[in-house]
Amino acid sequence: MTARMVARVLVMAVLLVAYLPVFGLLRLFGRGNGMVRSYLDWVGWLLGLRIRVEGKPVQGNALYAANHISWLDIPALGGTVRARFIAKSEIAGWSLIGWLAKIGGSVFVQRHKRSAARAQADEVTIALTEGRPVVLFAEGGTGDGIMLSPFRASLFAAANEAGVTVQPVALDYGARAAEIAWPDGAGFVREMKRMLNRPAPVYLTLHFLPPLDGATMDRKQLAVRTHAAISAALGL
């Protein structure tokens, strides 16, 4: 464990302790989303993220469909917009990480359980009507930073049913995307340590691309159109 890693973890812990009482108080009045965004913004900065935003994020009821490279994507997006995330159900059981995901408003789904697909789509549909954008990492996992995997259409059905805007969001780490990418087969703890130990800044451009009308396209059309838009933005 390096001094850099220890320092970053300690500062994150101190910030969390400072933020939680204020967050808890604001939650009593139905607020607090701004605190989540602010904390994730600090986490991203401490991890070396230096973010440039292109385009205008859609506000309110919307689905952000994004590519997924690294767990750095979470503080990058969550620290830029007041959004909640669609996350795999296993994360809910990851002690501190799962707890933070829950209080941040994540929607947990069992991606490999077909029998639960209808109920999970309903949960996402409800989340899409609660006034806060929802982030879908549409590849269903992290990519290699070189190619963009096909987008899974199943959860786009929720955007169609809710009749909300779908905005493609391209996360562009530039020439270092493959270096930043979460390697296939690497565990969460190992990857977290790797990112905590990174000495150099991580430059990221968030491209908020022209939105699509989720009410007039079916889930397959939405998957294809968002994939094409992100591929074009990343030059793939």
Give yes or no for a contact between 138 and 66, defined as CB atoms under 8 angstroms apart: yes
pLDDT band at 34 (very low <50, low <70, confident <90, very high): confident
Question: Could you give the CA distance from residue 71 to residue 115 in angstroms, rounded to a whole number?
Answer: 28
What is the model's pLDDT at position 175? 85
pLDDT by residue (tens digit) across 134-182? 999 988 777 777 888 889 888 788 888 889 999 999 999 988 888 888 8
More confident residue, 87 or 48: 48
- Residues 114-119 have a mean pLDDT of 58
pLDDT band at 97 (very low <50, low <70, confident <90, very high): confident
Closest alpha carbon to 179 in 209, 164, 199, 163: 199
pLDDT band at 112 (very low <50, low <70, confident <90, very high): low
pLDDT band at 76 (very low <50, low <70, confident <90, very high): very high
